[in-house]
Amino acid sequence: MRRTPASGKRRSLKAVAGAATLGSLLFGYDTGVISGALPYMQHPLSDGGLGLTAAQEGLIGGVLLVGAALGAVAGGHLSDRFGRRHNIRWLAAVFFFAAVGQALAPTIDVMYFFRFGLGLAVGAASTTVPVYLAETAPKSLRGTMVAVDQLMIVTGQMLAFSMNALIANTAHDSTAWRSMLLICSLPAVLLWIAMSRMPESARWLAVRGELAAAIGALKRVRRESDIGITREVAHFARSRGGRPPPTGRGWRALRIPWVRRVVFIGVGVGVLQQTTGINTIMYYAPKILMMTGQGETASITAQVANGVISVVGSACGLWFVTRLRRRRMLIAGQFGIIASLTLISVVFWTQVQPHLLPGGQANPSSPPSLLGSFAVLGGMMLFLFFNQGLQAPANWVLLSEIFPMAIRGFGMGLATFCLWIANAVITWVFPMMIASIGGGATFAVFAGVNVVTVVFSLIFVPETKNLSLEQLEDYLRTRYS
């Protein structure tokens, strides 16, 4: 076994992270691009839009998120059964065809179909990519590599916002949304090519009993000696002892009390990530800014600032995750989010809502003040920094670490399924909430919900830093048995 050759050309951990997180870039681009496309899709069919109603506007976002929820469950199961790398590679094909299909959609029903398909790929990527990174990285770099995943998600969103702004300022017709959506297909081609050159997760291979293949895969990303690599793979393989049944039996594992407790915590962390309201800002920022008096093109362009601050926050998150404990990051981010949402709520109540017409549009004869508009944008940027710099990196690292090896794909899939369902519900109801109770009350509700997330984190979330995945599993079994 010590003489087992590498299974292919050596790849640095940077190359592995760069290739896998192209899936996360697609995740971010496909969820972010719709914010700029929606204002054009609301134009009449005769002008090149789709004539969306308020309910259809929510469904455009919601149907992708329902697909993402189902894709998360399916992706977790398939990655446990066929492998992490295999999953990511085939997701590239789904991303490509769904992106092209939505860009060419002639009717709203066809759009729903391809948005659902795109959601399947987004959900499966959100499940598989963090697990692949966590299993490939040594424990000293695990947090950083998974945080790169979050950085690539927000980079994809920033690229989407930037391309939306470029197209909005150069293509002065209502069909601009088709170009915005078509660009999503390009990174999918790169993802397919890149993942074809990467190794499979050595941990996944070892737990399946394919020790020679695991050693060959690990040699492609490690510089240790043959003896050191063989010992590491043997350690992976021993992690099967006393664990829940392996692939394909995830639900049965929930009969074990400590596993059930860990899965409950993982699901809670995933759902509460969405109740921050992050995607109401990512998807509806132009709509919100238009309510503050900004024009259609100006509001789409202003969202680039949100994209930039998200990337800056996530880049800071790479530094935080190497120096701070996961739980501390999570709770600090949640306090910052509460403060930001409270600021937006107060500004809406005092500066914006007195100047709105009954339908929620800015009153042209008495528009909101420019100060109020910039204050709302500033509150969004502050929110995004706390979310992307502290809360989201800690959240995704925790989810990639916390589940037992034998059901890691299943557990991650279940948590992200619930995450995407919560996202879908919030995305669907947000336009109706802001139209019926106003922006002030809507953002106050989200601020209140985030108080619950702080309480949950303080009571239930364990610390996972500075432990190998196998040591962490032993620790959680002892703690919750």
Per-residue tokens: 233: 């793979």
Higher-confidence position of 317 and 27:
317
pLDDT (tens digit per residue) in 282-304 = 777 777 888 887 776 777 777 78
Contact indicator for 236, 470 with CB cutoff of 8 Å: yes
- The mean per-residue pLDDT over the stretch 330-359 comes to 87
Contact indicator for 398, 330 with CB cutoff of 8 Å: yes
The pLDDT value recorded for residue 101 is: 93
| Range 384-394 burial, b when 16+ CB lie within 10 A, else e | bbbbbbbbbbb
The pLDDT value recorded for residue 422 is: 86
Contact indicator for 181, 36 with CB cutoff of 8 Å: no
Contact indicator for 148, 21 with CB cutoff of 8 Å: yes
The pLDDT value recorded for residue 454 is: 92
Q: How far is CA 461 from CA 263, 270, 477, in A?
A: 11, 12, 14
Q: In Å, how far from its chain's centre is CA 418? A: 13
Which of 73, 95, 117 is CA-nearest to residue 23?
95
Question: How far apart (Å, rounded) are the C-alpha atoms in residues 278 and 290?
Answer: 18
The pLDDT value recorded for residue 242 is: 42
The pLDDT value recorded for residue 357 is: 67
- 3-state class (DSSP) for residue 257: helix
Q: In Å, how far from its chain's centre is CA 469? A: 22
Per-residue tokens: 75: 């992706």
Q: pLDDT exceeding 70 applies to what percent of the chain? A: 93
pLDDT (tens digit per residue) in 185-219 = 888 898 999 998 888 888 888 878 888 888 888 88
Q: In Å, how far from its chain's centre is CA 194? A: 21
- The mean per-residue pLDDT over the stretch 124-133 comes to 86
Per-residue tokens: 367: 């528009």
Q: How far is CA 230 from CA 1, 239, 399, in A?
A: 7, 14, 28
Query: Residue 58 pLDDT > 80, yes or no?
Result: no
Average pLDDT of the chain to the nearest whole number: 83
| Domains in the chain with CATH codes | 13-480 (1.20.1250.20)
Question: How far apart (Å, rounded) are the C-alpha atoms in residues 298 and 374?
Answer: 12
Question: How far apart (Å, rounded) are the C-alpha atoms in residues 404 and 327?
Answer: 19
The pLDDT value recorded for residue 65 is: 79
Choose from 164-168, 219-223, 325-329, 334-338 the range with maximum mean pLDDT: 334-338
2 burial level (CB within 10 Å; 0-12, 13-18, 19+):
exposed
Per-residue tokens: 394: 């800690």
pLDDT (tens digit per residue) in 365-410 = 677 777 888 888 899 899 999 998 998 888 888 888 888 877 887 8
Which of 88, 73, 190, 203 is CA-nearest to residue 136?
203
Q: What distance separates the 2 farthest-apart alpha carbons in the chain?
A: 79
Torsion over CA: 135, 139, 141, 147 (sign): positive
| Cα radius of gyration rounded to whole Å, the chain | 22
Which of 402, 396, 389, 393 is CA-nearest to residue 464?
402
pLDDT tier, 151 (very low <50, low <70, confident <90, very high otherwise): confident
Q: How many CB atoms lie within 10 A of CB 106?
A: 9
Torsion over CA: 285, 288, 290, 292 (sign): negative
The pLDDT value recorded for residue 456 is: 93
- 3-state class (DSSP) for residue 467: coil
Torsion-angle region of residue 242: left (phi > 0), alpha (psi -120 to 50) or beta?
left
Please report which helix (H) or strand (E) contains residue 290, including its range.
Answer: helix 278-291
- The mean per-residue pLDDT over the stretch 329-340 comes to 94
Q: pLDDT exceeding 90 applies to what percent of the chain? A: 14
* Share in percent of the chain as helix, strand, coil (round to 5): 80, 0, 20
Q: What angle do CA 277, 28, 167 make, to 5 degrees?
A: 105
Question: How far apart (Å, rounded) are the C-alpha atoms in residues 132 and 202?
Answer: 10
Task: Give the least confident one: 87-101, 103-117, 238-252, 331-345.
Answer: 238-252
